[in-house]
């Protein structure tokens, strides 16, 4: 069944609460101070059944300018607004501000309710209605009906109820399969039950027993019970006013402005990219970096506005901007918000969230502005493509993107599959997670890879290749190591690079020695072959060549990397032929004697104890031998 929320708006003392009482028979002013003073201070909640049997939730908002923050917390999620104007006073300041707020928040349906019509004559009513028509021109209420009522005498109430019944059938049903999200507008405790929060469930569904998280923050809780319209329910759906009894969390840990959503479903942020509109009625332009109040969901945060495509925003104009917050908040792409001046506080504009987890943007950057245009009006697939490219250096998984965007992971996966078919992104699987990488970014990585390896070859022309981990650390330090390996494999398959064990080189590259380096190489190999199992120290070879030590080191290291020399330890180096021979002699002796001691190995090689120990320990590391008392045996 479709669920709808009806809300009030209008100036103080224009009869909003009395109207609700006339419709429902219940008083939404629950505080003693409200009842004593005759004005609404906090939000009021109730419900009533429409003629078609549909139960509608009702939110009654305060009309006093001092309580505009409370009003803003209440109008989130309203489907139909009862825009109340008292016939004896007509349009007043808060009437105008409430209208502007509702229009900025994208409210679609509304009824203009002219209250207290029993206090004035017909001619006066007609004058007031004319003023109203002039005021609502160009807003969502422009073509709305005006219903004349007297809440005390109950005239016009039936006609209003019938109209609400008609409107209810035209409201688009909330997506109950979307991510559930409840901005908290009230927190209290009930003896024996604990913490209770209330709010309008914007989408999705919550079930008793669900584990949820309180955002911003990482506190979690369990839904112990649910109430909708004062009745216990097992499931609450988007479009309903919901009271949630939370287990495992204290009242002090939640406040108005918190958001209840599934665990790890959202990501808090201190930067939001937006499309902002300044009211025509604003008294002055907004300059870059102006400090403002941001009202989003039920939260209020101070921020500075960074204008991305204008030097200043004049009344009636729109702009792309970034809001840099003084506290974290959570939001979702498409969320509406209100902006008010820091001081004095009055509504100046509002807009739409384009990127809820933004990175710092440069002003007047054409590429950035083009991305924001797509995020404003593009399809979800186009937007997802831009997000994958924009956040390319973060190498986010599909799950990460789901959290960043507050989109259901299933929807992200669906749109990703379309992008794969369109050959715009590539997917890399690591078992647990799936990582999308934009095809253009793959090409950028490849170009950077070729450049980096080329520089390495130029600096170290004798080396077989660049160590894979060094290359990953320079170009892909943020990427999952398994994804990096898959990227390297992709470039191998494209014949761009070659990989030998942990070394990567450009396709077709081979180490090449200069004449001088060839002479040094020959000298080193000659020295190591003189007495194959009594090799000279590396530094002795270097000093005897009478060549720059760094040049000798480079050739020596190249011979090691190319496996023409085997490094046994820091003091012992053998040429490969000698090493292979030492291993054959080891195998032969052990197979004939069931083990070998250091002294026996020293003697068959004709070497010293240091070299024999070095070789045996090296074979232990290679898992060829193992120590058994004073002897080594072969590992089968």
Active site residue 36: no
**CB proximity list for 133: less than 8 A, separation 6 or greater:** none
Question: Whole-angstrom Cα distance, residue 603 to residue 49?
Answer: 102
Active site residue 400: no
Helix then strand then coil, in percent of the chain rounded to 5, is: 35, 30, 35
Q: Judging by DSSP bridges, how do beta strands 573-575 and 565-567 pair with one another?
A: antiparallel
Instruction: Give the burial string for 498-518 (b: 16+ CB within 10 Å, else e).
Output: beeeebbbbeebebeeeeebe
Sheet of strand 625-628: strand arrangement: 596-597, 631-634, 625-628
Do residues 489 and 429 make contact, with C-beta atoms less than 8 angstroms apart? no
Question: Whole-angstrom Cα distance, residue 553 to residue 116?
Answer: 97
Catalytic residue, chosen from 16, 310, 468, 486, is 16
Active site residue 16: yes
Q: How many residues does the chain have?
A: 636
Q: Residue 133 corresponds to which tokens in the numbers above?
A: 């028509």
Catalytic residue, chosen from 3, 11, 14, 17, is 17
Do residues 184 and 198 make contact, with C-beta atoms less than 8 angstroms apart? yes
In sequence order, what E strands does 2-115 have?
A: 4-10, 44-49, 55-60, 80-86, 109-115
Give how far the C-alpha of residue 569 lies from the chain's centroid of Cα atoms, to the nearest Å. Answer: 49
Question: Whole-angstrom Cα distance, residue 429 to residue 421?
Answer: 17
Catalytic residue, chosen from 3, 8, 11, 13, is 13
For helices 68-75 and 93-104, angle between their N-to-C axes, nearest 10 degrees: 30
What is the DSSP code (8-state) at residue 577?
A: H
Query: Does an H or E element contain 236, and which?
Result: strand 235-237
Q: Residue 211 corresponds to which tokens in the numbers above?
A: 């584990």
Omega into 5 within 30° of 0, i.e. cis?
no
Question: Whole-angstrom Cα distance, residue 562 to residue 92?
Answer: 86
Q: Tokens 């011979």 identify what position?
A: 559
Closest CA to 634 of 595, 585, 581, 603: 595
Q: Residue 341 corresponds to which tokens in the numbers above?
A: 């001046």
> Does residue 366 come out as left (phi exceeding 0), alpha (psi in the -120 to 50 range) or beta?
alpha
Do residues 586 and 548 make contact, with C-beta atoms less than 8 angstroms apart? no
Do residues 81 and 107 make contact, with C-beta atoms less than 8 angstroms apart? yes
Question: Whole-angstrom Cα distance, residue 216 to residue 270?
Answer: 11
Active site residue 309: no
What is the DSSP code (8-state) at residue 570?
A: S
Question: Whole-angstrom Cα distance, residue 312 to residue 319?
Answer: 9
Do residues 58 and 4 make contact, with C-beta atoms less than 8 angstroms apart? no
Closest CA to 257 of 214, 218, 205: 214
Q: Hey, which residues are catalytic here? A: 13, 16-17, 64
């Amino acid at each position: 069944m479709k669920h709808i929320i009806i809300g009030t708006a209008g100036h103080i003392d224009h009869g909003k609460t009395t109207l609700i009482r006339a419709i429902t028979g219940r008083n939404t002013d629950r505080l003693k101070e409200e009842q004593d003073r005759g004005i609404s201070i906090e939000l009021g909640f109730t419900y009533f059944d429409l003629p078609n049997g549909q139960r509608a939730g009702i939110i009654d908002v305060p009309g006093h300018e001092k309580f505009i923050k409370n009003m803003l917390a209440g109008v989130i999620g309203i489907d139909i607004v009862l825009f109340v104007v008292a016939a004896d006073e007509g349009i007043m300041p808060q009437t105008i501000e409430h209208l502007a707020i509702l229009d900025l928040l994208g409210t679609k349906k509304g009824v203009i309710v002219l209250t207290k019509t029993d206090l004035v004559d017909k001619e006066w009513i007609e004058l007031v209605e004319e003023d109203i028509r002039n005021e609502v021109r160009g807003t969502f209420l422009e073509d709305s009906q005006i219903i004349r009522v007297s809440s005390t005498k109950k005239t016009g109430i039936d006609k209003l109820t019938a109209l609400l019944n008609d409107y209810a059938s035209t409201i688009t049903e909330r997506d109950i399969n979307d991510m559930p999200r409840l901005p908290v507008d009230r927190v209290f405790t009930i003896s024996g039950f604990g913490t209770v929060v209330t709010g309008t469930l914007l989408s999705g569904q919550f079930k008793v027993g669900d584990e949820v998280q309180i955002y911003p923050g990482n506190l979690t809780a369990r839904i112990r019970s649910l109430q909708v319209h004062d009745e216990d329910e097992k499931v609450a759906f988007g479009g309903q006013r919901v009271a949630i009894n939370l287990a495992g969390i204290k009242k002090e840990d939640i406040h108005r402005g918190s958001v209840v959503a599934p665990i790890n479903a959202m990501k808090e942020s201190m930067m939001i990219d937006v499309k902002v509109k300044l009211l025509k009625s604003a008294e002055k332009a907004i300059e870059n970096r102006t400090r403002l109040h941001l009202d989003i969901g039920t939260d209020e945060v101070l921020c500075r506005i960074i204008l991305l495509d204008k030097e200043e925003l004049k009344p009636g104009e729109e702009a792309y901007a970034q809001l840099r917050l003084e506290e974290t908040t959570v939001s979702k792409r498409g969320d509406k918000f209100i902006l008010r001046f820091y001081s004095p506080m009055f509504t100046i504009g509002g807009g739409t969230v384009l990127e809820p987890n933004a990175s710092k943007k440069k002003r007047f950057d054409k590429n950035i502005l083009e991305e924001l245009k797509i995020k404003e009006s593009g399809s979800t697939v186009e937007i997802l493509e831009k997000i994958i490219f924009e956040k390319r250096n973060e190498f986010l998984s599909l799950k990460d993107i789901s959290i960043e965007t507050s989109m259901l992971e299933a929807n992200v996966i669906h749109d990703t599959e379309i992008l794969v078919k369109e050959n715009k992104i590539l997917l890399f699987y690591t078992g647990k997670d799936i990582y999308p990488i934009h095809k253009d970014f793959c090409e950028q990585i490849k170009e950077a890879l070729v450049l980096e390896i080329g520089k390495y070859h130029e600096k170290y022309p004798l080396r077989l290749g660049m160590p894979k981990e060094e290359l990953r650390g320079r170009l892909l330090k943020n990427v999952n190591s398994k994804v990096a390996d898959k990227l390297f494999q992709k470039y191998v398959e494209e014949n761009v690079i070659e990989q030998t064990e942990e070394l990567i080189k450009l396709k077709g590259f081979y180490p090449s020695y200069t004449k001088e380096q060839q002479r040094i190489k020959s000298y080193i190999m000659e020295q190591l072959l003189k007495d194959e199992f009594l090799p000279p120290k590396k530094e002795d070879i270097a000093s005897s060549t009478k060549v720059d030590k760094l040049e000798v080191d480079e050739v020596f290291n190249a011979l090691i990397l190319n496996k023409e020399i085997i490094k046994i330890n820091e003091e012992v180096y053998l040429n490969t032929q000698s090493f292979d021979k030492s291993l054959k002699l080891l195998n032969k002796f052990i197979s004939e004697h069931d083990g070998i001691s250091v002294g026996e190995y020293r003697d068959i090689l004709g070497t010293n104890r240091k070299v024999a120990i070095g070789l045996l320990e090296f074979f232990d590391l290679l898992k060829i031998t193992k120590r058994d008392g004073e002897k080594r045996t072969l590992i089968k």
